Amino acid sequence: MTETALRAASSASSAGSTSKPASTRNSGGQRERSRGMNGFLNVLQRTWLILVVFAVWWFASASSTNIFIPALEDILASLQRDLGNGVIASGASYSLTNLGVGLLLAVVAGIVGGLILGETKWLREIVDPVIHFFRSVPQAALVPLIIGAFGIGQGPKIYTIAFACMWPVLLNTIDGVLSVEPTIRKFSKVYRIPPGLHFRRVVLPAALPQIVAGIRVALPIGITVMVVSELFAANKGLGYYILNSSATFQVPETWAGALLVGVIGYILSVLFIVVERRILGWYFKSGAK
Amino acid sequence: MKTSTRALDASLAGQRIAAVAVLLAVWQVVIWSGTLPSMTPGVPAIVTAIGSAFTSALFWASLAQTMSAAVSGWLIAVAVGTVLGLVIGSIRMLDRSTSILIDFGRSFPVLALMPVVIMLLGATARMEITVVALSCLWPVLVQTIYGARRMDASVVDTARTFQIPRLLWFRRILLPSATPFISTGIRISASIAILVAVGVEVLSQTPGIGRQITLSQQEQRWDQAFAYLFFAGLVGWGIATLLTLIEGRLLRWNRQTHD
């Protein structure tokens, strides 16, 4: 059910937004022809609105008298300053380490659990309600409990991210395992492929597109939990930078931090799509979408 | 155990209950073993707290506050997202121009904006609704655009050939073909609404379930915090299940093409 959305999301963001089917969009011939003037118009068409939004914000906020809405110029100036003196760099490396380690734990646990549950029907049916319950627990609500119990260090934040990100990976892995073609399954059985090989070379590749889709869902969840865990209680990180500057009424810094987290979220999701295209190149080429 | 021939459903339900019991037992054993910090409550304490939450007026009031903020924000997002999405998705020029902006908005962790939004609006229900609406907007918008964009070429040609009036085209061609996608967006954003509402309350002084979790934790009432967490999960789960049911029923006509 969620898959529709995921596919929609991926093709909407990666393949651009023409109303043509994907095949014509990717054809080399069209790309050749659209060089030069057309290419320029294309870029212009895709970017003019961003420039307009930026300009409107810039000029509308320039004369702002509300101290909570600083001029965009001031926001960017403080962003540039803190990027230059390493304040943001150290915070970002702390936050992104938490995100990376948490996500990695979630992916490993989700794939292993998903492979096991996908292959064992009785176990899957028994724990199904439990999984759906845990998935529905609001991730942000875990933050006070885990941080309250284990302290404000790095470990508890990583656990919270891992816990929150695990469920989409797990559920998608189960779906992926279930979508392995019965014929292929039978072949594997008939030829008595050993279980290790069967998992590694038959089930895992077949489930990979779904698993990657699950990780794509988990990524924004992880970013949100990362920020929330630091906004709640921390002494380091991007969330701490935002919280600290808001507590000390450094309004431009607060805005700068919040916008920076947004930009990082955007960059990570674009990077993810690039990596996905590479890993799943065979899958997209096969036209399975 | 797995080959119970009669009353398979009853046996499955029994096994599920057994699985939950095993999980709770493991929890209790871990507590007794002392590997978790000492404040973590045991199963009996949590069960008692869940029971007393049921009879507490504060619990029902916080639940109502969370739900009303979540639902208001969600409804705003659905209205704005559907209208915007249909317009953007059916005009190709707009679609291309907005794509980067929408991608950016979609991947923006809105909860990171909390300190800014609190500065602007204060820790009020209005602030909570704004943050919820901002978070729920994107799935609805993206799905609607996708639905409006993805129209059968032959249908488009037929409509053009017969010079179908704009309004009729909108109502009888665009809307039906986009509905399955819109409804998926609406369903996804409903789950997000609860998550974000609770998140906002955890991080700010806005009243509701999330606020109660933070307060209970600060007062060292861990049993109560876990009870509220349990209810938060239950509500999220109930809403997801309900909306899947409704969607399945409303869109039965579309099942053969959708998925």
Residues A104 and A50 grouped into a single domain: no
Domain-located, residue A228: yes
**pLDDT exceeds cutoff 60 at B41:** yes
Q: State ipTM.
A: 0.81
Residues A138 and A181 placed together within one structural domain of the fold: yes
For residue A12, being part of any structural domain is answered with: no
Angle at B155 between CA B152 and CA B158, to 5 degrees: 150
Banded pLDDT at A171 (limits 50, 70, 90): very high
Give the Cα separation of B155 and B142 in Å (integer): 22
Residue-level pLDDT at B75: 95
**Range of the structural domain that residue A36 is part of:** 22-61
DSSP characters over A134-148: HHHS-HHHHHHHHHH
What torsion do the CA atoms of A227, A233, A236, A240 make, to the nearest 10 degrees? 60
A42 and A129 within one domain:
no
Q: Where are the beta strands (DSSP E) in chain A?
A: none
> Are A57 and A81 part of one and the same domain?
no
A115 and A52, same structural domain? no
Whether A48 and A103 map to the same domain: the answer is no
CA atoms of B185 and B181, how far apart (whole Å): 6
Q: Which of B149, B214, B229 sits opposite A137 (nearest CB)?
A: B229
Nearest by CB: A141 against B222, B232, B237: B232
- Domain total in chain A: 2
Q: Which of B107, B244, B259 sits opposite A220 (nearest CB)?
A: B107
Q: How many residues does chain A have?
A: 289
Nearest to B110 by CA among A203, A64, A266: A266
**CA distance linking residue A238 with residue A227, whole number of Å:** 7
CB-CB contact of B102 with B148 (8 Å): no
Burial class of residue B156 in the structure, from the number of CB atoms within 10 Å of its CB (0-12 exposed, 13-18 middle, 19+ buried): middle
Task: Give the position of tokens 């920076």.
Answer: A260
Q: Which two tokens stand for residue B41?
A: 């409550």
Q: Are B115 and A254 in contact (CB under 8 A)?
A: yes
Looking at the domain B41-257, which fold is it? MetI-like fold (1.10.3720)
- Tell which wins on pLDDT, B150 or B17: B17
In chain A, the percentage of residues whose pLDDT exceeds 90 is 19
Q: Which range, A98-107, B16-25, B205-214, has the best average confidence (pLDDT)?
A: A98-107
Tokens 């941080």 appear where?
A147
Is A85 in the same domain as A147?
A: yes
pTM (2 decimals)? Answer: 0.82
Rounded to the nearest angstrom, the minimum Cα separation between A149 and chain B is 6
pLDDT computed for residue A16 by the predictor: 38
Q: Where are the domains of chain B?
A: 1-36, 41-257
A237-276 residues touching B, CB cutoff 8 A: 238-239, 242-243, 246, 251, 254-255, 257-258, 261-262, 265-266, 268-270
List the one residue out of B140, B172, B146, B139 whose CA is nearest residue B90: B146
Q: Do A265 and B198 touch (CB under 8 A)?
A: no
Q: Does A259 lie in the same domain as A135?
A: yes
% of chain A exceeding 70 in pLDDT: 87
Boundary-marking domain end, from A61, A91, A114: A61
Report if residue A70 sits inside a domain: no
Q: What is the pLDDT of residues A16-49, one digit of tens each?
A: 333 334 344 444 445 555 567 788 888 888 888 8
Mean pLDDT of chain A: 81
Asked if the C-beta of B159 comes within 8 angstroms of chain A's C-beta atoms, the answer is: no
Q: Is the pLDDT of residue B259 over 50?
A: no
SS (H, E, C) chain B: CCCCCCCHHHHHHHHHHHHHHHHHHHHHHHHHHCCCCCCCCCHHHHHHHHHHHHCCHHHHHHHHHHHHHHHHHHHHHHHHHHHHHHHHHHCHHHHHHHHHHHHHHHCCCHHHHHHHHHHHHCCCHHHHHHHHHHHHHHHHHHHHHHHHHCCCHHHHHHHHHCCCCHHHHHHHHHHHHHHHHHHHHHHHHHHHHHHHHHHHHHHCCCCCHHHHHHHHHHCCCHHHHHHHHHHHHHHHHHHHHHHHHHHHHHCHHHCCCCC
**Is there a single domain that holds both residue A219 and residue A264?**
yes
Which residues of chain A neighbour B113 with C-beta distances below 8 Å? 258, 262
Chain A contact for B123 (CB, 8 A cutoff): no
Q: What is the pLDDT of residue A1?
A: 38
Which of B9, B104, B249, B251 to mutate to test binding with chain A, by most A CBs within 10 Å of its CB? B104
At B90-117, the pLDDT tens digits run 888 888 888 888 888 888 888 888 888 8
Does A132 share its domain with A35? no
B115-143 burial code (b ≥16 CB/10 A, e <16): bbbbbebebebebbbbbbbbbbbbbbbbb
What per-residue confidence (pLDDT) applies to A114? 92
- Within-domain flag for A67: no
Tell me the residue length of chain B: 259
CATH of the domain at A131: 1.10.3720.10
CB count in 10 Å sphere of residue A67: 9
- Looking at residue B31, its pLDDT comes to 76
Q: pLDDT digit string (tens) for A234-275?
A: 888 888 888 888 888 888 888 888 889 988 999 998 999 898
Instruction: Say if residue A137's pLDDT is above 50.
Output: yes
CA B33 → CA A150, A156, B28, B37, B259, distances in Å? Answer: 17, 20, 9, 10, 48
